[in-house]
Chain A
Amino acid sequence: MAARTLSIAITGAGGAGVMTASQMLLDAAAKAGLFGLMARSSGPQIRGGEVAAFLRLGALPVNCLDDRFDVMVALDWMNVERFAAEIVLDSASLVLCDADAGDVPERIAATGARIVALPLQETVKALPGGRLNMLGLGMLVALLGLDDGRVGDVVAKALKKRGPAALEAGMEGVRAGRALVETVPGLPAPPVASGEAPPRWNISGNEAAGLGCVRGGIRFCAAYPITPGTEILEWLAPNLEKVGGVLVQAEDELASINMIIGASFGGTPSMTATSGPGLALMMESIGLAVASETPIVVVDVMRGGPSTGIPTKSEQSDLNIALYGLHGDAPHVVTAARSIGDCLFTAQWSVHLAEHLQVPVIMLSDQSLGQSRAVIERPADLAFFGKREMAAAGVEGYQRYAVTASGISPMAIPGIGGGEYVADGLEHAVSGRPSSAAEDHQRQLDKRARKLEQFDFGRHWADVEGEGPLAVLTWGSCANPAREACARARARGIQTRLICLRLLAPAQTERFAEAIAGVERVLVLEQSHSRQFYRYLRAFYDLPRDTHVFSRPGPLPIRPGEVLDEILSWSARA
């Protein structure tokens, strides 16, 4: 059986501080030795709208939200209907709300959850400098059984800049919230941390992607803000500066992609981060990076599409454009992170691949990974570092695009005497001289394809777990509900294999065949409307005849229970 976790939804008007309180709760829980995940959901308003935080806390690592919520804390009922589809409650759930906030919305009442109204506003008004979110934090720490010392550290860190009076008022609110909840009978049992905790991190997927890039050697980023990728840039801007790099806010995505190509041409490992609409704008120049063999990394934090779509919600629907969006025969690498912590790994690996292969790498993440935070074990130090093969100075007759067995040609960068060449989007001869000759086109197409075909991507191309004739085949953030569903199935005696692809292009035909050997039945799991991943698998890989697809577009996350239901109904047919 999966280890016990506690799932909490917190809602309130935007600006009420739901996110701040939730972040503090996650920090405090982490200090107490718990693992946790915090996802966010917000409306389209910039400020003053409604917002919800979804937390799941447990003694073991937590990678996805549960099927339901144990507790909902409603600081008010402002537009809560907008989140009703996401906040799954049932008769075992507890809803804590404000006695003065008016009637409980019908959709919440209809769930059969136990509703406990407490004097939230009344209590806050009685406190000098009292804030509703600190009261909410107090209620939640009481639920989790966290002591005031740990909470105090977290609150002190968060409110440091506001001075001692604000800190005291904050702690007053926490104590008052705790007192309110301690009067409620029948609280759900909190998860209990097991033993001494090794060093852990509290990190978002977007921060992890930024850090992975810097660890891999990125020192230049040019980018244009876009939801939900912006936090990568917000993390990189101050941090690149500290390590001798720079982030340039460009005028648009066309500029971003071309600035990073220019910087990389100059020898500096370079990246940009964007989301679907921005990726679409960049496509022409990603082709330029293919043709000119300029290494770059483009991180795409996917959101609902097409067009402006649903900017604040997750979807895996940029797979097609990432794989097939380039014009011409343009071999490039597409990678995908499968968890918040894996955003670091995959980003660092992507930099390594881009630099080694002198190729653009499109790394796919999504809103549910990028904008969620998790408490994770400190990630291992990785050996991947971007290192391109450079041309030596003073070589007679240097040829930038020399045909080599690996397809990788030593690259000169400005400053290397004798290496002067013109990088070009025009097809070229080995020297770089523009050429439309058939033999030059064939030779360069072969060479650019060979770079990817001959490279040994190693075991990181996918994560393969478990054994047996049933397999769940997935990618990206869907790996998390899939893994949990497989664990629950195993607990019921149903052996399932989980195959989660990290490398989408180039396809790894032999490795895939090996991973799927002995599998008779496959459940393909993805979050898109047109079953993009399934179509990709059909294009590149041999699947068993008995292949079933569970694919749904965003914005609602795919829950482990849904995947388990698929596995159960599917194994019942056996």
Chain B
Amino acid sequence: MTAINETPTLTAGDFKSDYRPVWCPGCGHYSVLSSLTKALAELGVTRENTAVISGIGCSSRIPAYTNVYGFHSVHGRALPVAIGLKVARPDLTVIVAGGDGDGYSIGGNHFLHACRRNVDLTYIVMDNQVYGMTKGQASPTTPADWNRSKLTPHGTGVSPFHPLAVALAAGANFIARSFAGDPNGTARVISEAVRHPGFAMVQVLSPCVTYQPEQKEWKTTVRKADIVTTSEPDLAARWLMADDGLSTGVMYVGHRPVYRPDLETSVGVDALEAAFAV
């Protein structure tokens, strides 16, 4: 494997594939893709030692639009695929990307346990509060009164999920929110998340102009958080619970031990057989 310092510096463009995204014109995910490739260039990683892992959904198409290694797996299971990869191959930079339905609904249990396990991964959730690929149904972050889906004509009647508060409670080691409308800021947050050891959660507010056109207003309503990054979970919890979900910034940086099993060999396979000898 090539060491990082032996390779010529790659630009953001060098991390983009030539596939044309399936996304709608104006989708926030274009900007997240751009932020991701910028971050990879800034981090100085190599293509062959980086992997982007996803599940299913509009945003989960992102691995094919990069040209690092990738796995576009099944709905909700990006985190376990990434955890298996990173535990078996701790030398790699592993980034998980997906949407709110994939991560918080069908993959909700994995989200909790990925936060707990604290493998050195970065999880980018492109949150647009809607299922786009299946043509506009409510997701766990959709407001309870959103009634524009045929599936929930009276609104979901269910309180939206608070991903960052859940991530904090479950033990995530780095918690941040950014906005697709600020690609440079998002790229910086992704870089910081990758550099921070352990499980890093980055929620990116990424508007769906097709099914949630009111999210165009995020250009004016999303703003920088009025806090400084804390390592105190109680402070972060209070702040997150009081926030309206539209503040951006790095809210929490923890120092929990990273899950990284030792993969050193101590004996040969033959030695395992001795225990069975009569």
Interface residues of A (CB under 8 A from B): 27, 30-31, 199-203, 207, 211, 214-215, 219-220, 222, 239, 241-246, 248, 250-252, 254-268, 270, 284-285, 288, 292, 375, 378, 412, 414-426, 432-434
Contacts and interface: CB of A to CB of B under 8 A. Distances in A.
B73 A425 contact: yes
Given A214-B269, A242-B267, A262-B82, A414 B73 contact: no
A259 B71 contact: no
User: B interface, how many residues as a size bin?
Assistant: 35 or more
- Residue from A207, A214, A246 with most neighbouring chain B CB atoms (10 Å): A246
8 contacts: A248-B261, A262-B88, A263-B89, A265-B81, A285-B73, A414-B92, A420-B70, A424-B71
B107 to A, nearest CB: 9
B215 interface: no
A243 B265 contact: yes
Nearest to A203: B276
Contacts of A270: 84, 88
B46 to A, nearest CB: 8
Contacts of B82: 262
Contacts of B19: 433
A220 B272 contact: no
Nearest to A33: B278
A225 B168 CA distance: 27
Interface string B63-78: 1100111111110110
A414 B88 CA distance: 11
Interface stretch (B47-55, B159-167, B196-204): B47-55
Interface string B27-38: 000000000000
A258 B70 contact: no
Nearest to A424: B72
B80 A255 contact: yes
Nearest to A245: B263
A320 B199 CA distance: 40
A267 B278 CA distance: 36
What secondary structure prevails in chain A residues at the interface with B?
A: mixed
Contact of B73 (A31, A203, A241, A261): A261
Contacts of B85: 262-263, 265-266, 414
Interface string B105-132: 0000110110000000000000000000
B209 interface: no
A252 B109 CA distance: 9
Contacts of B70: 420-423
A254 B80 contact: yes
A283 to B, nearest CB: 11
Nearest to B67: A420
A243 B273 CA distance: 12
A201 B72 contact: no
A243 B269 CA distance: 7
A202 to B, nearest CB: 5
Contacts of B64: 422, 424, 432-434
Contact of A425 (B1, B74, B76, B262): B74
Contacts of A199: 277-278
Contacts of B72: 422-426, 434
Contacts of A260: 84
A225 B126 CA distance: 33
Contact of A285 (B53, B74, B261, B277): B74
Contact of B1 (A30, A261, A288, A415): A415
